[in-house]
Amino acid sequence: MHSVGAPLAPGQKDVPWPCNKEKYIVHFPETREIWSYGSGYGGNALLGKKCFGLRIASNIARDEGWMAEHMLILGVENPSGEKTYVAAAFPSACGKTNFAMLIPPKGFEGWKVWTVGDDIAWIRPDERGLLRAINPEAGFFGVAPGTSVKTNRNAMATLSKNSIFTNVALTPDGGVWWEGMTDEPPAECLDWKGQKWTPAIAKETGAKAAHPNARFTAPASQCPTIDPAWEDPSGVPISAIIFGGRRATTMPLVFQAFNWSSGVYIGATMGSETTAAAAGAVGTVRRDPMAMLPFCGYHMGDYFRHWIKMQRSLTLTPRIFHVNWFRKDADGKFMWPGFAENMRVLKWIVDRTKGRALAQETPVGWMPRYEDMEWSGMELSKEKFEELQKFDREAWRREVIEHEELFIGLHDHLPKEMVYERELLICRL
């Protein structure tokens, strides 16, 4: 049940963003009901998405032995036509939509990335014991600012028609605009509040044309890279699960978990620096287990146990990885170009699942050496790569102390595996 809680009295004029001062987004797992009142924000109004697809579905999944996860699903096709599917959980505004629609960079001619979903995965073991995933959504609900032909050409093509926009700027020719869409801003537009906006006004007042969390809602079928199997009810087989967040320090570009339970630990303890889509101060690390903190419909400790148990019904266990596109250097600049170049990390991940790529053991997991990565078409020195991958013992000491803080909050439901994994990590440190 959804209402913005703003009925119009006879003759009353409507407003562009009807809502109520009081907002209640309430979930009843026992009856699988959602009551959403007072808010028209997509996250609260598109009830099939986070509310049902994750919060209620995670309860159904626990009861029925499957998983409802905050994950994108993509397929990697190499030049010989071999296809490998992976699922990745990143917190909101950490790059799921961009990663799901990745266009391979220079040096990866003949490679293709197929999009199955960009936000939610429902995953279950099939009769052969393989994990298979479906995307339960019909479309994409993405952050607009920063989306451009340069950063995500597929998203731009997807939203070119039949799309709904919220809190973007309107251009005089009837189009939309947001920060980062083009290098040149429009000479004039209406900002997200309906006020006149020009580059000169922006310079003077700092006003943004679009809200930082402005969104587009577009049909997935319009995505140029939509996977032929994206609506297959039996889903696609998942070879790897990737966790990741926005971390300026500590977390390397990529590492692989030793096994399923250390992988569950990595997912359980993942963190991200807060951004506009999440509450809290911008720039502090917030623990967000499996990117599910705002979306898990029951106790996180029981959810970790459900993850541990899921592996028992599998004949082939997906490999688990952690990535960080957002590590910064001493000057505060991103050390990794990200976007299309993330393909290089993806290739190493796929090759690891196939037993084709080497790695080096470190206290936190398996890491690629410089020579284990594909560098054709990109310049990155061995020194730069080693900085990106650097394991900083002092930083990891602080990291495990923060893990303990998370665990104290979950103590009465925390599976023993998590406690033992933390002890082992401390021993290796």
Which residues of this protein are in contact with Mn ion, per CB under 5 A?
Answer: 96-97, 142
> Which positions from 98 to 117 touch ligand GDP by CB under 6 A, shown as an x/- string?
x-------------------
Which whole-number Å values give the CA distances from 111 to 151, 301, 318, 412, in the listed order?
18, 40, 22, 47
CB of 33 to ligand GDP, least distance (A): 27
CB of 172 to ligand GDP, least distance (A): 26
Helix (H) or strand (E) holding 37: strand 33-37
Please, where are the H alpha helices in 240-341?
260-268, 300-310
Which whole-number Å values give the CA distances from 316 to 182, 304, 319, in the listed order?
45, 20, 9
Q: Residue 151, interface with ligand GDP (CB under 6 A)?
A: yes
Q: Which residue is catalytic, options 51, 94, 223, 296?
A: 94
Q: Residue 97, interface with ligand GDP (CB under 6 A)?
A: yes
Q: Residue 294, interface with ligand GDP (CB under 6 A)?
A: no
CB of 140 to ligand GDP, least distance (A): 9
Q: Residue 146, interface with ligand GDP (CB under 6 A)?
A: yes
Q: Which range touches ligand GDP (CB under 6 A), out of 160-168, 332-340, 372-380, 381-389?
A: 332-340
CB of 428 to ligand GDP, least distance (A): 29
Supply the angle between the helices 300-310 and 260-268 in degrees, to the nearest 10: 160
User: At 128, which amino acid appears?
Assistant: R
**Of the candidate residues 36, 167, 256, 342, the single one contacting ligand GDP (CB under 6 A):** 342
Q: Which range touches ligand GDP (CB under 6 A), out of 87-95, 189-197, 292-300, 401-409?
A: 87-95
Q: Residue 325, interface with ligand GDP (CB under 6 A)?
A: yes
CA–CA dist 235, 66 (Å, integer)? 13
Residue 334 contact among Mn ion, ligand GDP, none, beta carbon within 5 to 8 Å by kind? ligand GDP
Q: What is the DSSP letter of 307?
A: H
CA–CA dist 84, 238 (Å, integer)? 8
CB of 138 to Mn ion, least distance (A): 15
CA–CA dist 259, 314 (Å, integer)? 14
Q: Locate 261 and state its tokens.
A: 């339970």
Which whole-number Å values give the CA distances from 143 to 35, 90, 210, 235, in the listed order?
25, 14, 11, 26
Residue 90 contact among Mn ion, ligand GDP, none, beta carbon within 5 to 8 Å by kind? ligand GDP
Q: 286 has which bridge partners? A: 272
Q: Residue 292, interface with ligand GDP (CB under 6 A)?
A: no
DSSP notation for 184-249: SPPSSEE-TTS-EE-HHHHHHH---SS-TT-EEEEEGGG-TTB-TTTT-TT-EEEEEEEEE---SS
Let me know if 94 is a catalytic residue.
yes
Minimal CB distance to Mn ion: which residue? 97
CB of 38 to ligand GDP, least distance (A): 24
* Residue whose C-alpha is closest to residue 71's, from 240, 248, 282: 240
Q: Measured from the CB atom, is 197 or 339 closer to ligand GDP?
A: 339
Contacts of 227 (CB under 8 A, 6+ apart): 74, 75, 114, 115, 116, 236
Q: Residue 88, interface with ligand GDP (CB under 6 A)?
A: no
CB of 98 to ligand GDP, least distance (A): 4
Q: What is the DSSP letter of 280?
A: S
Q: Which range touches ligand GDP (CB under 6 A), out of 141-149, 181-189, 262-270, 281-289?
A: 141-149
**Of the candidate residues 43, 142, 263, 297, the single one contacting ligand GDP (CB under 6 A):** 142
Find the angle CA(91)-CA(339)-CA(46) to the nearest 5 degrees.
Answer: 40
Which whole-number Å values give the CA distances from 221 to 49, 135, 228, 229, in the listed order?
17, 12, 10, 11
Residue 342 contact among Mn ion, ligand GDP, none, beta carbon within 5 to 8 Å by kind? ligand GDP
**Of the candidate residues 66, 90, 243, 396, the single one contacting ligand GDP (CB under 6 A):** 90
Q: Measured from the CB atom, is 96 or 403 closer to Mn ion?
A: 96
Q: Which residues are catalytic?
A: 94
- Contacting residues toward ligand GDP, per CB under 6 A: 90, 92-98, 118, 142-143, 146, 151, 325-326, 334, 338-339, 342
